[in-house]
Structure 1
């Protein structure tokens, strides 16, 4: 045991203790350097930022002040974004209100353009000369009974009736503008027509025949020519009143045109001249009642014109919207041919869809029906081939009948292109 103890215990000299002290001190120096390095690396970034944050002028800026500025900038950005969203929301709301207002104004305008409302804005201007005839009271009473506006006044064209309308009021206009219609009626008697014929006949040169007049002439024809020359775009219609005495006397209603053509060639020449050169039509009416009916019909037509123009009538007004007007679509595989065959039968007069369906269900194609016709020996059996087919649909069962069976037979077998199927 003592030997072992002597082996484990060493005798350390003084020199060895000094060397150990030197090593320990050097190691302590090294640890102190590493510790300082680690402390510098593990120091917080804010502290480093505070130490390194220096302005361009060389003045150091604290981290707390910089963070306050960033918060203020972020707050200002949020406020600006919130304000932009509020402005966009207000703008959308304003646009929505404007759109609603435009729709409301459009609906009101459309309502005003309807014939029953637009006719209230029309005013019939009647020349004062027409009041000399006692029969004009019929016209005035009818206009007053319909509660239509009318006015008695002197006009450029004698014996005339014209119409004006009040334009729709807009926001910028305080007063409504008056628009004059292009339709004008000229009511004259048969004697005045004869005076116009004589005035036209006295003009002998060719230049006057196309519209030039003598300066001294003051007939109704001269006034008419001046009016048409001065006002372009007017459509004048002359209403010639024939009294009941003339109607029951020498002229009848049926032979009036024949009388004009054979006995009054000068009158016919004047009518042709007015129609070709001035686009003036002449109508012969019997009494003020027929004149009143013509005025009422023309007033109603003028009241319907704006609404029809707004709606935009199609070019082919008789073609209604629907699946039938577009035809039947036939695919390349033949899908749709059965419906085409049904439509062909249905095009015949007095053929319902149920009757056409009964024929095409028994014979799905024209070739099968033609083949069935060829197999029958007599013509009578061929005509009555489809007569006993049952028509499905309706309150009770019924047959196709011999009449339709015969028409279908003539449709498929006749060689005459001008043959009537009915």
Structure 2
């Protein structure tokens, strides 16, 4: 039976050079030896080159190439990290710039809504017929002294004064000027009598009778613009504006009408958003127009305040929203604790001590009813122990106990607890 053997031995021999006579050592490695029965074959494997280094050690070229690749990879990672950091800083800077721009625009919008800013955007449009009245120069002098903008131009309704507002930014439909809903008509007593006679005629004929041109135009404007609020300023030195009896008597004398008829005309005008004011002179007319102008200047700011959901005097905080009470009643204990803590000079540990002894107001009221005298009720909570922040214990005290008792049992809403 043949057997296979592998030999890997080294043979060292000594030889002498014929020319130099020096001896050298020679090594040879015996290769694989095949043995099979009577026949034996020997193979000699070539010896590996002697480099002086272990066979597992890398060559310098390969190590240098790997070190170069690792260095380039690290540099690439550093560049990517720096680029990512630079991009993040640029993004944060852009967001900060946008936030600042947004705050500036909001502040500018709020400044534009202030009354003093809105007053500069208002313009009074005065019909030339208004200036035909004696004493109308007082109105123009007052407007010029106040440095308010006003225009003298023909209006749709004669004898009228209207207001327009310049918008800081054009609307979606391209409008940059809007007309206010206030319309004031300045009439003398003769013009107002024509209006009254026209209204009476319309009431008798169910609106089919012809009316005065002024009232006809006014009603037509109200039909097209239902949001308009019209005020008739009637100037008459003969009718004192603060004397209702004198006003009715004067109208009855000049128009031959009864008091009931005059009231009927007033109701008819009021149902159509037309109010009537009787004034003595142009000083009263000027004061009225100035008051309307100032009120219109405050309207955008007042509208902004009413549109705010929160209250401006409530600061943000964890206590601002109070305690949440669920459907199962959880949270009522926290509400009771906050209610006790609202009293003056009652700290959170003191309120916790009171609510721990009496978990609900009803239990405390029951304890008050079961106590005999008034003095005992006032001192019911005085001996409760309160743990401070440093672990020291103290009592609630008679003062706090008396105030809690008053707050739960007093029937006078004006009672001072302290």
Q: What TM bracket, shorter-length normalisation? A: 0.5 to 0.7
8 Å Cα contact 2:187-2:233 kept in structure 1: yes
RMSD: 5.1
**286 and 326 in structure 1: CA distance in 2 versus 1, 3 angstrom threshold:** farther
Measure, in 2, the Cα distance between the counterparts of 1:161 and 1:154: 10
Gaps of 5+ in 1: 1-21, 51-62, 344-364, 374-391, 393-407, 415-419
Q: Deviations over 1:294-320 (max 9, x none)?
A: 111111111111112223367999x96
Structure 2 counterpart SS, 1:156: coil
Counterpart of 1:245 (choices 229, 233, 238) is 238
Structure 2 counterpart SS, 1:255: helix
Equivalent residue number for residue 305 of structure 1: 299
Select the structure that is richer in helix: 1
Please state if 1:222 is matched with 2:216.
yes
Counterpart of 2:57 (choices 39, 44, 50) is 44
8 Å Cα contact 1:196-1:219 kept in structure 2: no
Measure, in 1, the Cα distance between the counterparts of 2:188 and 2:310: 41
**227 and 255 in structure 1: CA distance in 2 versus 1, 3 angstrom threshold:** same
Equivalent residue number for residue 147 of structure 1: 147
8 Å Cα contact 2:228-2:273 kept in structure 1: no
Measure, in 1, the Cα distance between the counterparts of 2:369 and 2:298: 52
Deviation at 1:222, TM superposition (A): 0.6
Equivalent residue number for residue 184 of structure 1: 183
Measure, in 2, the Cα distance between the counterparts of 1:36 and 1:179: 102
TM (normalized to structure 1)?
A: 0.58
8 Å Cα contact 2:230-2:275 kept in structure 1: yes
Q: Deviations over 1:15-51 (max 9, x none)?
A: xxxxxxx99689974699798599998243458x96x
8 Å Cα contact 2:122-2:164 kept in structure 1: yes
Q: Deviations over 1:366-395 (max 9, x none)?
A: 76999449xxxxxxxxxxxxxxxxxx9xxx
Equivalent residue number for residue 200 of structure 2: 201
Written as runs of structure 1 = structure 2, the 5 A alignment for 1:256-295 is 256=246, 259=249, 263-276=258-271, 278-295=272-289
Measure, in 1, the Cα distance between the counterparts of 2:205 and 2:283: 39
Written as runs of structure 1 = structure 2, the 5 A alignment for 1:356-375 is 371-372=373-374
Structure 2 counterpart SS, 1:227: helix
Deviation at 1:245, TM superposition (A): 2.7
Equivalent residue number for residue 327 of structure 2: none
**413 and 221 in structure 1: CA distance in 2 versus 1, 3 angstrom threshold:** closer
Measure, in 1, the Cα distance between the counterparts of 2:243 and 2:186: 19
Equivalent residue number for residue 93 of structure 2: 93
Structure 2 counterpart SS, 1:128: coil
**213 and 279 in structure 1: CA distance in 2 versus 1, 3 angstrom threshold:** farther
Select the structure that is richer in strand: 2
Structure 1 counterpart SS, 2:227: coil
8 Å Cα contact 2:322-2:335 kept in structure 1: no
Measure, in 2, the Cα distance between the counterparts of 1:258 and 1:367: 65
Deviation at 1:203, TM superposition (A): 2.6
Deviation at 1:110, TM superposition (A): 1.8
Deviation at 1:159, TM superposition (A): 1.0
Q: Deviations over 1:95-127 (max 9, x none)?
A: 322322222232222222211222112111111
8 Å Cα contact 1:166-1:179 kept in structure 2: yes
Measure, in 2, the Cα distance between the counterparts of 1:120 and 1:162: 16
**309 and 332 in structure 1: CA distance in 2 versus 1, 3 angstrom threshold:** closer
Measure, in 2, the Cα distance between the counterparts of 1:77 and 1:315: 51
TM (normalized to structure 2)?
A: 0.58
**315 and 335 in structure 1: CA distance in 2 versus 1, 3 angstrom threshold:** closer
Measure, in 2, the Cα distance between the counterparts of 1:134 and 1:37: 129
Structure 2 counterpart SS, 1:180: strand
**236 and 252 in structure 1: CA distance in 2 versus 1, 3 angstrom threshold:** closer
